[in-house]
Structures are given as C-alpha cells and as structure tokens.
Structure 1
Amino acid sequence: MLAPHATAEPPPTPGASTAAAAPGADELTPVEVPAPTEKALRYYEGNMRLWAFHVAWSILVPAAIFFSGLSARIRDLARRIGRGWLPTVAIYLVLYLGLNAALDLPFDYYAGFVRQHAYGMSNQTFAKWLTDLVLGLGVDMLGAAAFGWVPFLLLARSPRRWWLYVAILWVPFLFFVVLIKPIWIDPLFNTFGPMKDPALERSILDLASRAGIEGGRVFEVAKRVDTNAMNAYVTGLGGTKRIVLWDTLIAGLGERELLVVMGHEMGHYVLGHVLRTILLSSLVMLLGLFLVDRVGRAVLAKFASRAGVHDLADVASVPLLALLIAVNGLLLGPIAMAYSRHQEHEADRFALDLTHANHSAGMAFAKLQRENLGNPRPGPIYTFFRASHPSIGDRIDFSNAYHPWADR
C-alpha cells in the first residue's frame, strides 16, 4: 500500500451474488515460490546496508547540527531576516531543510540514481531525477513553512501537554493530506491520464462496483519514464477518489493477474484501512512525542549552553527533535510495520474473496518479485524493522492455500 485509502461500504461476503464465479481448475493450480536471482539477492543485501547507513546518518547529522551550535546560529540568521516569531520559524525550517538536502545529496544520488540504474530499476534521466528531487524539497519546504509553526506554538503555550495536542491535530492533518495529494502533489511528479485500454478500464470499474466502490475514476500513470518496477493503488477521499495503475503494471501482468492486484488495492479502500492507519499513526505519535518531550528536556538541561538552545519551544531545537524522533522510529516503527503487514494480508484475502483467482494472484506476486528484484524470504531484521507487507513467499503460499469457496 503506497498511499492511504479511504473507507467505503463493507466488503462483499464470500460466496454472495456479487462474488466472482467459481474458479476453474487452472485457478486452483498452485504457484511455486520462485527462488531469488543472484542479482536480486545482491540488491536486497545492498539495500539493507544502505538502510543501516541511513538510520545512523539520520541520527548523527541532526546531532552534529544541534550540539555544535549550528542550529542556534541558523535560528539567529532566521531571526535577523524574519524580524518576527512566525517568519523566524518559517525561515529557519526552510534553511534547515535546505541544509539537510545538501548533506543528503551524495547519498540520494547514489541510492536513488546511480544504484537504481546499475540494477536496471530506473529509466530516469539525470535531469528528471534532479527535477523530482528539487520538487520534493520544494513541497517539503512549503509544507514546513505553512504548518511547521503549529508544534512550536503549542510548545510555547502548553509546554507540558504539547505532545498530546500535536497527536490530536495529526488526525485531521493526515486526512487533509490524503484529500489533496492526488490532485495537488502527485501530478507534480507523474503524468496521469485516462486508461489507454477501454476494455480493461471497464473490467476494473466492474470489479470496483462488485467491491462496493462507486464513483471512482481510473488513471494510468506514465511510470516507464522513471522505473521498470510495477505498482497500483487506490487513493483520495470523496471527489479526489481514484484508482491508479502504473503503465509498467499494465504491460507486465495479464488481465486476470492485474485484476487481482486491483482487488487487493480496493480491499484497502473498502476495509477502511486509511482510518485505522491514521488512528494507529496518531497513537504511535502520541507515545513517541511523549518520549521526545521527556528525553528532550533532559538533554536541554545538560547541554543547553553548549547548543545555544534552552527551550524545546525554540525553533532551534528542531535537530534535537529530529534525532529523537529517528530513535523513536527504531523503537516504535516495528509496531506500525506489524500492523501494516496485517492490513496487507487482509487486503490479499479480500482480493481472493472478490476474484477467486488464486493462481493469477500467485503469478502476479511472482512477476512482481522478478520485476522489483524482490527477495521472497527476507531475513528477520528486514521483517521486523522494514517490512510493511508480508513476504512475497508468504503471499504466494496464502494464494495457494486460501480458497474456502472451492472447499465447500
């Protein structure tokens, strides 16, 4: 699931009149879990090393910026330019994000451009890659300038309860992001258009109708310009609701396989996973920010003079908050990952209940593994800290075993 999904009507009951017809013998034929290629294993192992480096980097860089006093100097510069509390906060956040982007640039270039081309995972020109990077930074800066002052206002007005109020406000903020992302943000990075195959579009809309999703629109994204990987999702709320398929997915899967993938994405929408995810995110944030508050105050009590920051309400505390949030991510992130895997499994079950296409599901997962250089049985460290989905191997096994409509 690459984007939050909105709620809709309850899922159809397996075996009800809205379900697909009983499968033929071909859809009950098991799919063997493909062994990973040597290239895929190298890609997986390299990704794990890059992940470990990035975790350490995300802690060490803000620590250096904070404890060296650089953050306080950036705040002083922002104060001279802004000449007011709100402009100072906005300017500081823009400068801080720019500094981080500059420090991250060598890593981003290697991990996001050089390495992806070396493994045949990217088709981007350098100009397209750099444009997307700059656009992403611009969106982050605009969002920080527009909303970043809120936590610091709450820190100043309610220093003992700010973490509670931020967690509460996180809920409507995430709903706002889900609402605007499909129409204001996603088109900055991708070209969205109507489906080029009207018959396939009709099949997808028919499937959506059986799933209880009405009024959605289907968009085809020109992703081949960026990548050879395959994906699809359902996103948006109300009038921004849409079904999105990458052109690489359409080219790489047969129609029955593609419809199972779409059934999975529709399952996220129908099962109300966006609401559950936002609520869990807010609970995790509540706990995380409580810990940040307690540890942050202890750090400032000891290092305030060295850092030039004496209060968490000072915008110069941003790198301290950032490194504490990164540490909390390691501690609390596995909770979110485990729940995400549960939701993805629910969506797999929904897709099979809707389509009865077990063999097609297994084949789709096998093709996704091949095209995305996946490892069907990743190790426990990956699963615990990084896996938002069940492993491809587990998903194929489930596709082979789950067919209650055929067992009756």
Structure 2
Amino acid sequence: MASSKRMQPDRQSGLFMRYLFFTIICLFFSRIGIAAEQLPALQGTPSSVTSQIESVDETLPVAVPEPSAKALAHYRSGTVLWCIRTIWELWLPILFLFTGFSARLREFARKIGRHWFWAMCIYFVVLVVLNYLLSLPLAYFQGFIRPHAYNLSNQTLAKWFTDSLKELGLVLVLGCLFLWIPYLLLKKSPRRWWLYASLAMVPIYFFVVMIQPVVMAPMFNQFTPVKDKALEAKIMALAERAGIHGAGIYEVNKSVDTKTANAYVSGFLGTKRIVLWDTIIAQLNERELMFVLGHEMGHYALNHVVKGILCLSVLTLVAFYGVHVAASFLLRRFSRYFGFDQLSDLASLPLLVLLINVFSLVLTPIGFAYSRHLEHEADRFGLELTHYNHSAGTGFVKLQQQSLGVPWPGLVYTIWRATHPSNGERVEFFNEYKPWLKHEPSRYEAYFTPEQPKK
C-alpha cells in the first residue's frame, strides 16, 4: 500500500528513492529508500471490483495462513539474491578503484572532452554504461528470469529490455545535467561539502518526486483516468470523505508487465496523485479495493511523502558526513592505487558510490523502520475511514497465498529489506483495531467528514 516494496523486493528498490548522493547517481548505483508509495503485490483469481458483498461481517477476524512451499522457496531465493546484489554493488566500485580504471577513464575523458563539463559528462556516461553492461546478467535474472520462473510476470523480453534502456537513458541525461553540482561543492568547500551537499539534496529530492509521476513514470507505462466510471465515482466519494478534494486518480496498464497488483501515492504539490494498477482493479473485490484506497488516502492526507523525504534528508546528512570522514581516511591509505588524492577529483566517483552503499546499509534499518511506521499509520487511517477490517484482512491473505508472501519473515529481512510491517502483523492489526465498536475516539476522525461510509 503506499509502497509495494515489501512484496516486490527483487524487482526494484524503488523509483521513489534509490537513496543517497546525487539522486541521479543513486538511481543507478545504489538502492535504499523510505518507500512510502506502493501497495504490496496482490495477485490471484480476478474478481470484479463491483461485486456485491453487502452481507460481509467486517468484525469477523481473518486467520493468517502458513506460507506455501513455493512461497518459502521464493523468500529464500530472494534473500540469496539480495545478498549477491549487495556484495556486487560493493565489489564493482572497488574494482574500478583499485585497478586504476577510474583514474585512466578520467584522463581519457579529459583528452576527449577538453572542457571540464564535457569531460565530466564523458566520464560519467562511460562509467555508467560499463556498470550497466557488467550488471546486466544479474539484472536480467533478477528482473526477468526469476519473476517468470515464479509465474509473477507478464513482461516480454523486449519490454523488459526497452524499459531497462529507458532507465539507463534517464540516468545518463539527468546525471550529466546535475553531476557538476556536488563536484563544484567538493572543490569549493572540501571540509564542509557534506553539509552543503545535504542541503542541496533537499530541493532535488522534492524536484524528483514532483516530476516522477508526470515525466518519468509515463515513459514506462500508460496512465489514464479510471476506466470504470462507477468505480471512479465511489473513489472520489471516499476521497471527499477523507478530506481530499480534487485529487488526481489514475489507472496504469501494469498488466503488460506483471501479474501482481499495486496502488500508490506519488508526486508533490500539483503532481500529487493516487495511482491504481489495472491488475488491482481486476483482482480485488470492492471492499478490499476501498480499504487499499483508504490506505493510500492516508498517505496523501497525512503528508507521508513529505515526511519520508525529510527523513531521507536527515539520513543523507548523516551519510554524507560519514562519507567525508571515511573518504579522507581511504585517500590517505590508498591514493597510490586509486590514482587520485582529492575527493573533488572526478575519478573519485566510484569511491563516493562505494561509501554511499556502505552507509546506506548502515542507515537502512533507520529509514525502513520509519517507513514501517508510516505504513502502519496509513493502515490505521484506512481502517478508520472504511471500517473494512475483514476485507482488509482477506486482501492480505490473498497477497500471502497467491503472491508468494511469507507472513513472519526473519529479523534480517525485517531490518534491511522490509519497508512495511509484516503481513502477519498487518492482518492481526486489522483483526484487533476497532475503536468505533467500543465507542472510543479514532485517531484520525478529525480528517473525515461526519457522514459514516456505507457498510
């Protein structure tokens, strides 16, 4: 729900925040975030969203079933893949540094580009393309082979590869436009660059989040108004009751890519919107879908996107300072291998990426713990808005059984990979949280109009 990462950890770590340092570079080299935007993947036998289920008793509890053998295999192989990917993202920058490749590439770029800016662009493009090619087999297995092996994907190889090239092109363009900013700060203020760069990242984060739904996302899929106008009217009525007026609600054709289902909030200011994958409209009944939308509206009404970015900005400040201290130490020890002795040298990019990956691992537990808190509060908002506790639980049971979910993942998974509370925790919360039955005040009732939703 506002973030599907917990259910799709191997597909991507999110275009909402591939974390820390030059947002554009991190889109390619790193992968940490506060994911607060997507719904856990749900898949299964399609059911009409307009199905009549007026007789459902929303006070009935929902049991958390045990995971299937296939789900456990998916979970374990995903853990192995996560470890391999993490090691790869640390090892590759080390290779570029200790072989002296980065320094040689800098000299090549200077000869070809002559001017500092063009040399920077040439260096960046060659390094990113090389990284892309070296990482392509792992990305292919992770993004195409594995989802098809578990029957979770509809994507053709041509679509997967085209999307991969689009993302590469996006990184190259934006990197060439903005990479000069941090390097200028490194050159002008080598002792306090980390502070100034952290401050500069705040508006950049907001800018990327603002343009993502209107510039980036449409590059990969088609977004349209919700096709089912009766459904759209019900969604708008729910939004009005949640105090959200004039919200943009869109449907996206993700069925060309995946069998999983999703919904999320994205954007900032005028680009803020609620997005439904067409798969979720086909696969959930009306009440399950309305809870999902209530959850997403909670992210919207409670300003979770802004809160997530502010949390990320604080983590960025800590990480940049750590990079500053660690880089100084490493340059004193290994500059003869690196071929440079200043962090402001363009050849330092792999060193920056390496240290950012290290500190992202250290800071991930903090960022993801905050993400889980936001997701829990969005769950609470959705329940208070709809009172659809049982339907919320049945939706998550579908998730677990049909999307290969594990209800109680291990501690390592929770700390380093879970942007959401576990499936088991969420279903138990849905079963227990019903203050309105005890005539107790709800936490977010001030956000709602007086009229109660129809049951």
Bin for the TM-score computed over the shorter chain: over 0.9
- For the residues of structure 2 that align with 1:297 and 1:261, how far apart are their CA atoms? 48
Match 2:385 to one of 330, 354, 359: 354
Give the aligned partner of residue 362 of structure 2.
331
- For the residues of structure 1 that align with 2:362 and 2:133, how far apart are their CA atoms? 28
CA-atom RMSD, angstroms?
1.5
On the 8 A contact 2:36/2:374 being kept in 1, the answer is no
Give the aligned partner of residue 326 of structure 2.
295
- For the residues of structure 2 that align with 1:367 and 1:309, how far apart are their CA atoms? 54
Match 2:395 to one of 340, 364, 384: 364
Identity within the alignment, %: 51
> Structure 2 counterpart of 1:169, which letter?
A
- The TM-score with structure 2 as length reference comes to 0.84
State how 1:382-393 maps to structure 2 within 5 Å: 382-393=413-424
- For the residues of structure 1 that align with 2:108 and 2:129, how far apart are their CA atoms? 14
Give the aligned partner of residue 125 of structure 2.
94
Give the aligned partner of residue 274 of structure 1.
305
Matched, 1:146 2:177: yes
State how 1:154-233 maps to structure 2 within 5 Å: 154-233=185-264
Match 1:37 to one of 61, 68, 91: 68
Q: Which runs of 5+ in 2 are unaligned?
A: 4-15, 17-34, 38-53, 440-455
1:26 positional shift: 0.3
Give the aligned partner of residue 256 of structure 1.
287
1:73 positional shift: 1.1
- For the residues of structure 2 that align with 1:358 and 1:102, how far apart are their CA atoms? 47
- For the residues of structure 2 that align with 1:217 and 1:277, how far apart are their CA atoms? 21
Deviation string 1:274-310 (CA, Å, 9 cap, x unpaired) is: 2211111111111111111111111111111221111
State how 1:73-84 maps to structure 2 within 5 Å: 73-84=104-115
Give the aligned partner of residue 49 of structure 1.
80
Larger relative helix fraction:
1
- The TM-score with structure 1 as length reference comes to 0.93
- For the residues of structure 1 that align with 2:201 and 2:300, how far apart are their CA atoms? 21
Give the aligned partner of residue 65 of structure 1.
96
Q: Which runs of 5+ in 1 are unaligned?
A: 7-22
- For the residues of structure 2 that align with 1:290 and 1:66, how far apart are their CA atoms? 21
1:24 positional shift: 7.9
Give the aligned partner of residue 10 of structure 1.
none
Matched residue count: 392
Deviation string 1:214-253 (CA, Å, 9 cap, x unpaired) is: 1112211111110011100122223322221001101110
Q: Which SS does the other structure have where 1:244 is aligned? A: strand
Match 1:27 to one of 58, 81, 96: 58
1:5 positional shift: 7.1
1:372 positional shift: 2.7
Q: Which SS does the other structure have where 2:251 is aligned? A: strand
Q: Which runs of 4+ in 1 moved over 4 A?
A: 3-6
Deviation string 1:253-289 (CA, Å, 9 cap, x unpaired) is: 0011001001111111111112211111111111111
